[in-house]
A and B are shown apart, each in its own frame.
Chain A
Amino acid sequence: MESYAPLALFAVLLIVMPTSMIVLSRLLGPRRETEVKGDPYECGVPTWMGARNRFSVHFYLVAILFILFDLETVFLIPWAIVYKSIGAVALVEMGFFLAVLGLALVYVWRRRGLEWE
């Protein structure tokens, strides 16, 4: 049932296809490079404020909360597959896990970590 050969072929095709599309457009399209064309887009006015700015730490908070909750999803998947054959015990085990994670969520919520400021 496991058939990875089609996956390999599909992946190769999907790398070849966009690459050849870009190569084709490079062959077909005009090439007239000018000074202004190479500038970063700024609605037609000279660029101000470069692209390398520092961002709010809130983005970091979002990313790390994502990892933690993603981790929990990862544990839930094998649980979801076997919980019927293990039975009620599995529910108790996962119940405790989810309760602790729920606690974490409540903590973040009360501490206004979910607010976007």
Chain B
Amino acid sequence: MLTGLLLAAGSAGRGLIDLDLTSLPLVGEMLAEHPTIAWPLLMLAIGCGVVIGYITVFSLLAVYAERKISAFMQSRLGPMEVGPYGLLQTAADGLKLLAKEDIIPRDADKLLYIIGPIFVFTGVWLSFVVLPYGPDLIVADLNVGLLFLAAVASIEVVGVLMAGWASNNKWALFGTMRMITQLVSYEIPIGLSFVAVVAISGSLSMQEITLDQQGWFWNWYLFRNPFLFVGFFLYFIASLAETKRAPFDLPEAESELVAGFHTEYTGMRFSLFFLAEYAAMYVVSATAAVLFLGGWCTGFAFIDSWMMESAGFQRVLANVVGLTSITIKAWFLVAVMMWLRWTLPRIRLDQVMYVCLKVLLPFSFGVLVFSTLWELVTDGTLFGDWWPLFQFLISIGGFGLLMMNFMAKERPYDIEADFRPLRHSEVHAAPDAGARG
């Protein structure tokens, strides 16, 4: 957040020079000289307000959806009392949290305890600045957009460290250590997936990455080549860990660590973490949608070209279509995340590290190298205009063959191999481990 502010302060300095207002440092004088500047500023404020409202509504709905989905998967009804079908349950919970007592533990480091949640919350929500929602719907189309996402994510890590350390509670500290280890490790495969996409788009701007995927859905980067197809799944798995969703939810494993790094937080401060968590789910899903699923593009060439060419009222309509498109894609990925939560068991810390360092890392290296090579060799147009369609078929075909290969292998399910308990030799790494007879 501080970053954004400072970055912005730096550029505001530059912007003023561009406007040739270098002799007018005071905003009041500036407005007196250029009364038209007030109007865009007001529009901007309304725009930012709308985006914040969008995130809030998403978070409330996502919490509701998670409770409903988990209920249906367990043959329950879920929230039913507040509002029709329990729709207002989350809002009621929010009000309840607002009225809770705000406790700061006696031994906590007061300053860090207070700014920790604000850091995390602002860090995550600031990501929405660079997410595109339509041809004209983006708060700030930075030309380092994708890197900005990574940078604010690293600020969030610092916020978690502050909160967890300041709580002065051993469960919070254990949760923090686990969480930082996990977040930091999975940032590498995520960064490599970013690079693989950037190598094809040639730009870090989220809007330009989206525009590069216009037309039929086989133009999406997901089907750009067989390697990026794999890259999407690598990114998705890594983003599960990045948002500490199951099966990677061990930083806040409630059965062993109470609640992880926010064990000591109550009321509104807790709900800030909660809102940040659900917003982060949207951020990674929308990022996946932009990078691999065409962002706000619909996947139909005639609609996309209409969206770009329309003007006036049609342009507004085009933006609504774009917003709907990216919202559906992001919600689909969020729904998959929730589905996974109630399907897969939580894994151990050593397994988390194994998945990251020995599976995702080498694979994303491979994806990067081979996807770049493929791009250089085919040059995007090997067989003329229909090459994207060929690439789409190659990607799908390759994946199908892989799946058939998997299914053809008759493997008796070996629970010992998949979830084997720790051995004695691993628990007690004593030199006489081999001497057990």
Does chain A touch chain B in the assembled complex, meaning CB atoms less than 8 Å apart? yes
User: Nearest Cβ in chain A — how far from B397, in angstroms?
Assistant: 27
The closest CB in chain A to the CB of B192 belongs to A73
Q: Does B33 contact A (CB under 8 A)?
A: no
User: Nearest Cβ in chain A — how far from B421, in angstroms?
Assistant: 16
Q: Are A62 and B368 interface neighbours, CB within 8 A?
A: no
Within 8 A of A (CB), among B123-154: 125-126, 128-129, 139-143, 147
User: Nearest Cβ in chain A — how far from B128, in angstroms?
Assistant: 8
Task: Provide the residues of chain B in CB contact with A96, threshold 8 Å.
Answer: none
Task: Provide the residues of chain B in CB contact with A109, threshold 8 Å.
Answer: 358
Q: Does B70 contact A (CB under 8 A)?
A: no
Q: Are B143 and A10 interface neighbours, CB within 8 A?
A: no
Known A51-B167, A114-B353, A116-B354; contact A41-B258, beta-carbon cutoff 8 A: yes
Interface residues of A (CB under 8 A from B): 1-15, 17-19, 21-22, 24-26, 28-33, 37-41, 43, 49-53, 55, 59, 62-63, 66, 69-70, 73, 76-77, 80-81, 83-84, 88, 91, 98, 102, 105, 109, 114-117
User: Nearest Cβ in chain A — how far from B239, in angstroms?
Assistant: 16
Task: Provide the residues of chain B in CB contact with A24, threshold 8 Å.
Answer: 98, 268
Q: Does B7 contact A (CB under 8 A)?
A: yes
User: Which residue in B15, B52, B99, B168 is a CB contact (below 8 Å) of A13?
Assistant: B52
Q: Does B335 contact A (CB under 8 A)?
A: no
Q: Are A4 and B11 interface neighbours, CB within 8 A?
A: yes
Please give me the 9 A-B residue pairs with the lowest Cβ-Cβ distance, nearest first. A8-B8, A38-B106, A4-B11, A25-B268, A116-B350, A73-B191, A11-B4, A80-B199, A80-B198
Q: Are A9 and B44 interface neighbours, CB within 8 A?
A: yes
Q: Does B91 contact A (CB under 8 A)?
A: no
Known A4-B15, A66-B188, A83-B372; contact A18-B272, beta-carbon cutoff 8 A: yes
User: Nearest Cβ in chain A — how far from B205, in angstroms?
Assistant: 8
The closest CB in chain B to the CB of A113 belongs to B357
The closest CB in chain B to the CB of A22 belongs to B268
Q: Are B168 and A51 interface neighbours, CB within 8 A?
A: yes
The closest CB in chain A to the CB of B55 belongs to A14
Q: Are A29 and B99 interface neighbours, CB within 8 A?
A: yes
Residue pairs across A and B with Cβ atoms less than 8 A apart, 13 shown, are A2-B143, A6-B139, A15-B122, A18-B118, A21-B271, A22-B118, A24-B98, A40-B167, A43-B258, A59-B180, A66-B185, A80-B199, A114-B358
Task: Provide the residues of chain B in CB contact with A22, threshold 8 Å.
Answer: 102, 114, 118, 268-269, 272
Q: How far is the CA of A9 from the CA of B368 in the complex (A)?
A: 36
Total count of chain B residues near the partner, CB < 8 A: 91
Task: Provide the residues of chain B in CB contact with A7, threshold 8 Å.
Answer: 4, 7-8, 129, 139-140, 142
Q: Are B168 and A38 interface neighbours, CB within 8 A?
A: no
Task: Provide the residues of chain B in CB contact with A70, threshold 8 Å.
Answer: 187-188, 191
20 extra interface residue pairs, beta carbon distance < 8 Å, beyond A7-B7, A7-B129, A116-B350: A3-B141, A4-B15, A7-B142, A8-B4, A9-B45, A10-B51, A10-B128, A14-B52, A18-B118, A18-B272, A19-B118, A22-B102, A29-B100, A38-B103, A40-B105, A49-B170, A69-B188, A73-B194, A84-B376, A116-B349
Q: Does B429 contact A (CB under 8 A)?
A: yes
User: Which residue in A8, A53, A77 is a CB contact (below 8 Å) of B198?
Assistant: A77
Q: Are B103 and A37 interface neighbours, CB within 8 A?
A: yes
Task: Provide the residues of chain B in CB contact with A17, threshold 8 Å.
Answer: 52
Within 8 A of A (CB), among B1-24: 1, 4-5, 7-12, 15
User: Nearest Cβ in chain A — how far from B295, in angstroms?
Assistant: 17
